[in-house]
A and B are shown apart, each in its own frame.
Chain A
Amino acid sequence: MSLAQHTPSPAQQRRAAYRRRQTIRSVLVAASSTAALGTLLVLAVTGAPGWDRVRESFLDPGIARDALPAVLSGLWLNIRLLVCCAAGALLLGLLIALLRTLRGPVFFPVRALAAGYTYTFRGLPLIIVLYVLTLGVPGLRLQGMPSVLVLGGLALVLTYGGYLAEVFRAGIESIHPSQLAAARSLGLTYRQTMRHVVLPQAVRRVAPPLLNDVVALQKDVGLVSLAGPIDAVRAAQISTAETFNYTPYILAGVLFVLMAIPLIAVTDWVTLRSARRQSGG
């Protein structure tokens, strides 16, 4: 191959050298400006008149250590709820979106129900759904009533399912009709066309907003603690009440951010990838 034998011309060598110098310069500028800003911030905060009081009541390492086990076990509940509710809401959302695309008079009631569902649960505040399901429904004293935790999870799935359904639907509708025509012209049925042509493209396209909603869900799963189960924030609240010190909240906040970082990183990566794909690169 001539690829290996090619010696860069002097012009190309000069360009490459220039780009290397520019890169080094950029790194140096970024590093020094970051250091300067960081120093300023630290000085401003620690130099504030109330800094010592704030440090005692929000950043006490001893209290953080004591609260850690309780907060962590609360966090474990958040994680389990997140995984189950995200899976449930994604499935429900996809199902509702598919029902809304069905055509023909037979499916009118199904379409109407699905539309009614997305309107209702996107409009209804999550807290109200939670209260109705976890406090109201157990009042019926039906046989085999699931636990409050399951009912709370259901409230989350119902609410987020409504949002995700609309994201999925937007994705499905963004696929150009010519793709459907091409699939149908090959003899694929409506279902096969959805399954093999429309959905794979639609899901890829809306993966970033879907993941974004999952990140939001991650913060909302803690609301089930309103009905009793103890999540990380509730655990922090309990130990705060015992010690009259707010450090456990900061601890829970830090843990939440740490937990969110991988999810957000995945979201960014997927967004970047789909943006690249759409620009044809």
Chain B
Amino acid sequence: MPVLTCRGLRKEFGDHVVLDGLDLTVEEHQVVALIGASGSGKSTLLRCVNLLEELDDGIIELDGEEISDPRVDPDLVRRRIGMVFQSYNLFPHLTVLENVTLAPRKVHRRVRAEAEAQARELLDRVGLGAKAGAYPDRLSGGQQQRVAIVRALANSPRLMLLDEVTSALDPELVGEVLAMIRDLKADGMTMVLATHEMGFAREVADQVCFLDGGTVVEAGPPAQVLGEPTQPRTRQFLHRIIEAGRL
């Protein structure tokens, strides 16, 4: 059974249709990369899956359970999905350790000592153990984003949604975040990531989906979608990216 199934998703903002009958399936341990021009709806799709946006049509299933049913408690769904944002969105009034333990303590009702032990272990693994007591504004962008990933992981999610997690970073800081995602893949984490890093999509993704006009225009293994795209729109998009020097 797939971890995530989206069928016929539709999302409008006013009279602007952003998602228009979009289908997507993500199998367990699979990494799916969403690519597409700015404004093609990658973030909107991820936010819909995390129930941060209300759908205008379509069905989303997580582990076979329909989570787009309005009777489902969104808070219970979000505990099972980790989300990381382009702008980190760490809580500035909390230390790194408090950021990471907030959900385990308040949502999963774990005792403080236990939550902190788990958080320290996760932070140590990504080389941020020494920063546990620091406030987010004392960290570099790359460090902040890695803390944000750890914060999402502390919920032991079934599925991780990563929205252009390296776009706000200086080039020399991108590597440390990508290395972390690589490790996550090695651990078997199921992930959907929106990205402009074509090279990284090619390396880490099992499947690449090209979004345009509110649907997935082309999907397949990275070598095929990025190397020999069959759809004219995909080719056009990749061509522009190559011209911009990003492939």
Taking CB atoms, residues of chain A closer than 8 Å to B151 are 186
Which listed residue (B74, B78, B93) contacts A186, Cβ 8 A?
A: B78
User: How many A-B pairs with Cβ below 8 Å?
Assistant: 59
Are A187 and B91 touching (Cβ within 8 A)? no
17 A-B pairs in the complex with CB atoms less than 8 angstroms apart: A181-B47, A181-B52, A181-B85, A182-B89, A182-B90, A182-B91, A184-B75, A185-B50, A186-B78, A187-B75, A187-B78, A187-B79, A187-B107, A192-B107, A196-B106, A204-B93, A280-B137
Which listed residue (A182, A189, A197) contacts B85, Cβ 8 A?
A: A182
Taking CB atoms, residues of chain B closer than 8 Å to A204 are 93
Interface residues in A153-198 by Cβ distance below 8 A to B read 178-179, 181-189, 192, 196-197
As a 0/1 sequence over residues 153 to 192 of chain B, the CB contacts with chain A under 8 angstroms (1 = contact) are 0010000000000000000000000000000000000000
Are A187 and B92 touching (Cβ within 8 A)? no
User: Which 5 pairs, one residue from A and one from B, show the smallest C-beta to C-beta distance?
Assistant: A187-B79, A182-B89, A186-B103, A185-B83, A187-B107
Check A212 for interface membership: any CB of B closer than 8 A.
no
Taking CB atoms, residues of chain B closer than 8 Å to A184 are 52, 74-75, 78
Given contacts A178-B89, A182-B83, A186-B78, 5 further A-B contacts (CB under 8 A): A182-B89, A184-B74, A186-B79, A188-B75, A188-B102
Q: How far is the CA of A188 from the CA of B50 in the complex (A)?
A: 13
Q: Which residue of A lies closest to B87 (CB)?
A: A178
Taking CB atoms, residues of chain B closer than 8 Å to A146 are none
Q: How far is the CA of A163 from the CA of B163 in the complex (A)?
A: 40
Most buried by A among B47, B78, B82, B93: B93
Are A200 and B93 touching (Cβ within 8 A)? yes
Most buried by A among B92, B107, B152: B92
Taking CB atoms, residues of chain B closer than 8 Å to A196 are 102, 106
Check A245 for interface membership: any CB of B closer than 8 A.
no
Which listed residue (A183, A187, A197) contacts B76, Cβ 8 A?
A: A187
Q: How far is the CB of B199 from chain A (nearest CB, A)?
A: 27
Are B89 and A179 touching (Cβ within 8 A)? yes
Taking CB atoms, residues of chain A closer than 8 Å to B89 are 178-179, 181-182
Q: Which residue of A lies closest to B98 (CB)?
A: A196
As a 0/1 sequence over residues 103 to 125 of chain B, the CB contacts with chain A under 8 angstroms (1 = contact) are 10011000000000000000000
Are B91 and A179 touching (Cβ within 8 A)? yes
Q: How far is the CA of A197 from the CA of B90 in the complex (A)?
A: 10
Taking CB atoms, residues of chain B closer than 8 Å to A201 are 91-93
As a 0/1 sequence over residues 57 to 95 of chain B, the CB contacts with chain A under 8 angstroms (1 = contact) are 000000000000000001110110111010101111100
Interface residues on B, range: 20 to 34
Are A186 and B102 touching (Cβ within 8 A)? yes
Are A186 and B52 touching (Cβ within 8 A)? no
Q: Which residue of B lies closest to A202 (CB)?
A: B93
Are B93 and A189 touching (Cβ within 8 A)? no
Q: Which residue of B lies closest to A281 (CB)?
A: B137
Q: How far is the CB of A237 from chain B (nearest CB, A)?
A: 47
Q: How far is the CA of A189 from the CA of B81 in the complex (A)?
A: 15
Are A189 and B102 touching (Cβ within 8 A)? no
Taking CB atoms, residues of chain A closer than 8 Å to B81 are 185
Interface residues in A114-147 by Cβ distance below 8 A to B read none
Are A187 and B85 touching (Cβ within 8 A)? no
Q: How far is the CA of A183 from the CA of B91 in the complex (A)?
A: 9
Q: How far is the CB of A222 from chain B (nearest CB, A)?
A: 37
Q: How far is the CA of A187 from the CA of B81 in the complex (A)?
A: 9
Q: How far is the CA of A236 from the CA of B106 in the complex (A)?
A: 55
A196-B102, A201-B92 given; A186·B152 CB < 8 A: yes
Q: How far is the CB of A175 from chain B (nearest CB, A)?
A: 10
Which listed residue (A178, A179, A181, A187) contacts B103, Cβ 8 A?
A: A187
Q: Which residue of B lies closest to A182 (CB)?
A: B89
Q: How far is the CB of B38 from chain A (nearest CB, A)?
A: 18
Q: How far is the CB of B207 from chain A (nearest CB, A)?
A: 23
Interface residues in B187-233 by Cβ distance below 8 A to A read none
Taking CB atoms, residues of chain A closer than 8 Å to B76 are 187
Taking CB atoms, residues of chain A closer than 8 Å to B103 are 186-188
Q: Which residue of A lies closest to B102 (CB)?
A: A196
